A = this chain, B = another copy of it.
Amino acid sequence: MKTRSRNPVYVFVFVSALAAAFCSKTIAEPLASWNDAGAKQAIVSFIKKTTEPTSDTFVPAEQRFAVFDNDGTLWTEKPMYIHAYGIFSEIKRQIEADETLTKREPWKSVAEKDASYFEQLYSNSEYESLASQLFAAPFGGMSAETYASWAKDFTANFKHPELGVGIEGLIYQPMLELIRYLEANEFLVYIITADEGAFLRVVAEDLYGIPPERVFGTSVREEFVIENGEPQFVRTYHVDHLNNWDGKPRLIKKVIGRTPIFAAGNSNGDQQMLQNTALGGGMSILVHHTDADREFAYDKHTDKVMPLASQEGWVVVDMAKDWNKIRADGSE
């Protein structure tokens, strides 16, 4: 350096600052779609006390993990989960191609528009059987590659029946900003969905900038086979991990091996994931669907998490009050 300048210290500082700017992602105005209210202030304050080296509660960058639920947390889940639209449209397509399928489940109930079979599995707590019937059975014996193509086609052509928008129109701009803000603060962000992970992986990189290796969800057991010199994964008829309730922290433990210090969810299915982080000293946020004008207002499946939010100090995000914008494309 000394040979290159009359003021080596100045140049060194200048170059280091520039190098830092090149290396880390900086954001012009983080959380721009968040009103300057309680939730935003709590998030910014948490990030500061976590990332400032002089802070008592500083967390080294390599230990900064954040987990996000997907349905109702990153994108709209009403009136039905996007994943479910995909499953039912595929089941209907299969019935049209082969009516003999309607002799057995899950095709039978779908053909008869009778939810009682599924409801009974649910009320008997046979959640894995229910998930196997819906996530696995319609795609059983299919290669993982074919499944991914199907998911790609379905999501590319999906139009929301009430909002009339495609899949990009369903994601929440403030949450996208939150992901970028965490990343700018050197968090590694994972999506932990109750949907099938293999389904969400197909779109998560384009929609959220989260690559497949950080998207996890419910999984269908796949077999590994080599046919004519081609390695393949073939889907079975069984769900081997149901990623809801306690399944979420169990999966997080398996994939991250540590407790995330930031977690975001919106319903009872996220309870244990949010508790794990909040009781472990991190920040949990609960997206509360309060905005009937711009999205949907509802409290279905929040009876367990709403009381816990106040008991355990989670941050409740009031969509109507905390967000000045909901959609990335400004369509609200």
**Assuming A224-B249, A231-B280, A246-B224, is B256 touching A212 (CB within 8 A)?**
yes
Check if A254 sits within 8 Å of B219, measured CB to CB: yes
A327 touches B (CB below 8 Å)? no
**Complex CA–CA separation, A229 to B276 (angstroms):** 10
A255 touches B (CB below 8 Å)? yes
Chain B residue at minimal CB-CB distance from A278: B231
A272 touches B (CB below 8 Å)? yes
Check if A212 sits within 8 Å of B23, measured CB to CB: no
A window 1-43: CB within 8 A of B: 4, 14-16, 18-23
Q: Which B residues lie within 8 Å of A250 (CB)?
A: 222-224, 233
Chain B residue at minimal CB-CB distance from A148: B257
Tell me the dominant secondary structure on chain A's binding face: helix
A259 touches B (CB below 8 Å)? yes
A window 174-218: CB within 8 A of B: 188, 197-198, 201, 211-213, 215
Q: Which B residues lie within 8 Å of A198 (CB)?
A: 257
**Complex CA–CA separation, A256 to B215 (angstroms):** 9
A253 touches B (CB below 8 Å)? yes
State the oligomeric state as a number of copies. 2
What's the least CB distance linking A230 to chain B, in Å? Answer: 7
**Complex CA–CA separation, A23 to B144 (angstroms):** 36
Q: Which B residues lie within 8 Å of A292 (CB)?
A: none
Chain B residue at minimal CB-CB distance from A188: B213
A224 touches which of B215, B229, B255, B276 (Cβ 8 Å): B276
Check if A213 sits within 8 Å of B280, measured CB to CB: no
Chain B residue at minimal CB-CB distance from A247: B224
What's the least CB distance linking A217 to chain B, in Å? Answer: 10
* List of 6 A-B pairs having minimum Cβ-Cβ separation, nearest first: A212-B257, A19-B22, A19-B19, A224-B246, A231-B276, A224-B249
